[in-house]
Amino acid sequence: MDFCVTGLTDLDKRWLTEAVRLREEHAGPLDDQEANRRARQLGGDLATRIENRALWLAERDGMRAALLHWKQGARLALLVLLAVAVLSGAGLAFAALGDGQRPVNVFWAVGSLLGVNLLLLLSWAMSFSLAGEQGASLGRVWLWLSEKLARDAQAVHLAPALLLLLQRQRLNRWLLGALVNGLWLLALGSALLVLLVLLATRRYGFVWETTILGDQTFIDLTQALGALPALLGFSVPDVAMIRASGVSQPVLELARQAWAGWLLGVLMVYGLLPRLLLAATCLWRWRRGRQHLSLDLKLPGYNTLREALIPSSERLGINDPEPAAMPEVTRLADAEHSAGALLVGLELDDQRPWPPALPASVVDAGILDSRESRNRLLEQLSRFPPARLAIACDPRRSPDRGSLALIAELARSAGATRIWLMQAPPGQALDSERLGDWHQALEKLDLTFADTAPLHWLEHGHD
């Protein structure tokens, strides 16, 4: 089965990779033998191979299609929230100005337009700066709606995978921040447009009222709030207009226009502009961080894949060209000059205790885990060939060309050679297909092999 990654962004690929990891964490390892082989064929570093493996599994098990459904659901959920934001903004404008039958209390109007927005903005900023994360309710609603609208059984791990992936690099707060501030920007923009329409088509009067505060308090507050909007060209009522608006029926047309400009300026400067700057900042940080999004290879679910996707023999850098035929093992012509018995391990990991208990006549040649150790042993064998050589191999790894060529070269340097295909460590199991590959390769080399240590043969020369 071939898999196609066209149409998937880098975020989608890492998202699916994390979703596959969560699925294996909760439901157990997947049948991934073919996925691992394909990932090894495509090559690359460990992160690339893990990603290619996950994409193949996601394509096979329907998770890629579920991702597309989830993203469609996310778009529908976003459209619903956008519609709600537009209607809410229009509702704020109508609530602030009323039907025009009664004068508008200017500070009640400001409170209606900006009160909830400023409270939620302050709450968002405090949680963002103190906790390092933001629990935006609108963001949670969007994720919940996205999952509900996806309606795909394979999408159960997608939302948690996305959150975990983004939280590790703290990108979730920028994404949800862009969403929350963008929705509030749309709501306040809708309120501004409706205000303009209402002020252009209806005649409103503006008043301020108080029982315990003096006139000077409202004058100072009005001028303080109007200072920044005035820099952008919005009108601000002068002291006389403010005092005149304290009566029940203001009549000055100029005062009406000044109060209308002041109200629009306050909404623009203290409502729209902060949300616009925050939305732009969050969106910029989100896009910048998304370019550097990466997998956490230290997680157990990824770390256990290292040996399956990058075998130790491959990490040694064996990159010889593929031979036309399998290497041949030619026995020593002068075997009578060989003497002694030797046991060597081929690229064994630290899960294998080494060396095993050996008879006194058997020499431990160590573990070949580098080019230097391999060349050193081959040089030693060329001068002092052993009569009997046993090579311990880990059949959890694939019998690649480099390993087989090294086995053949070692066998040519000994009077007789046997291969010890070691059992799996406790708690692990051998891959039957990979073990079959070893058997076929060793049979082609005409080498004797077994799953037990040939210690008696090494010591005495017979079974």
| Same domain flag for 219 and 267 | yes
| Same domain flag for 265 and 341 | no
In-domain check, residue 168:
yes
- For range 214-231, the mean pLDDT: 80
How many domains is the chain built from?
A: 2
| Same domain flag for 241 and 338 | no
- For range 136-146, the mean pLDDT: 69
| Same domain flag for 325 and 287 | no
- For range 100-122, the mean pLDDT: 84
Question: What pLDDT sits at residue 39?
Answer: 84
Choice between 61 and 330, residue whose per-residue pLDDT is larger? 61
pTM exceeding the 0.75 threshold for the entire prediction: no
Question: What pLDDT sits at residue 281?
Answer: 93
Give 337's pLDDT tier (boundaries 50, 70, 90): low
Question: What pLDDT sits at residue 251?
Answer: 47
In-domain check, residue 117:
yes
How many other C-beta atoms are found inside a 10 Å radius of the C-beta of residue 95? 13
In-domain check, residue 48:
no
Question: What pLDDT sits at residue 35?
Answer: 82
Give 150's pLDDT tier (boundaries 50, 70, 90): low
| Same domain flag for 242 and 321 | no
In this predicted structure, the answer to whether residue 214 has a pLDDT above a threshold of 80 is: no
- For range 390-399, the mean pLDDT: 88
Choice between 185 and 24, residue whose per-residue pLDDT is larger? 185
| Same domain flag for 287 and 341 | no
Give 192's pLDDT tier (boundaries 50, 70, 90): very high
How many other C-beta atoms are found inside a 10 Å radius of the C-beta of residue 156? 17
The mean pLDDT value of the chain amounts to: 80
- For 12-23, how does the pLDDT look when each residue is reduced to its tens digit (9 = 90+)? 899 898 988 988
Question: What pLDDT sits at residue 41?
Answer: 75
Question: What pLDDT sits at residue 276?
Answer: 95
Question: What pLDDT sits at residue 324?
Answer: 43
β-strands 341-346, 448-450 pairing: unpaired
- For 396-420, how does the pLDDT look when each residue is reduced to its tens digit (9 = 90+)? 888 887 788 888 888 888 888 999 9
In this predicted structure, the answer to whether residue 152 has a pLDDT above a threshold of 90 is: no
Mean pLDDT lowest for which of 219-228, 245-254, 363-372, 437-446? 245-254
- For range 37-43, the mean pLDDT: 79
In-domain check, residue 280:
yes
Name the one residue in this structure whose structure tokens are 């704020």: 92
| Same domain flag for 283 and 326 | no
- What proportion of the chain, given as a percentage, has pLDDT over 90? 14
- For range 165-172, the mean pLDDT: 84
In-domain check, residue 119:
yes
247-252 contact pairs (CB < 8 A, 24+): 247/207, 248/103, 248/207, 249/103, 249/205, 250/103, 250/205, 250/206, 250/207
| Same domain flag for 261 and 122 | yes
Give 188's pLDDT tier (boundaries 50, 70, 90): very high
Closest CA to 189 of 281, 271, 96, 114: 271
From 291, 326, 352, give the residue that closes a domain.
291
| Same domain flag for 334 and 265 | no
Choice between 152 and 116, residue whose per-residue pLDDT is larger? 116
- For range 365-377, the mean pLDDT: 83
- For 278-296, how does the pLDDT look when each residue is reduced to its tens digit (9 = 90+)? 999 999 999 888 888 888 8
In-domain check, residue 270:
yes
Choice between 143 and 325, residue whose per-residue pLDDT is larger? 143
**Contact predicate 194/85, CB 8 Å:** no
In-domain check, residue 449:
yes
| Same domain flag for 276 and 332 | no
| Same domain flag for 90 and 211 | yes
Question: What pLDDT sits at residue 319?
Answer: 42
| Same domain flag for 256 and 394 | no
- For 73-97, how does the pLDDT look when each residue is reduced to its tens digit (9 = 90+)? 888 888 988 999 999 999 999 888 8
Range of the domain at 200: 64-291
In this predicted structure, the answer to whether residue 298 has a pLDDT above a threshold of 70 is: yes
- For range 435-442, the mean pLDDT: 89
Question: What pLDDT sits at residue 273?
Answer: 95
In-domain check, residue 386:
yes
Question: What pLDDT sits at residue 219?
Answer: 77
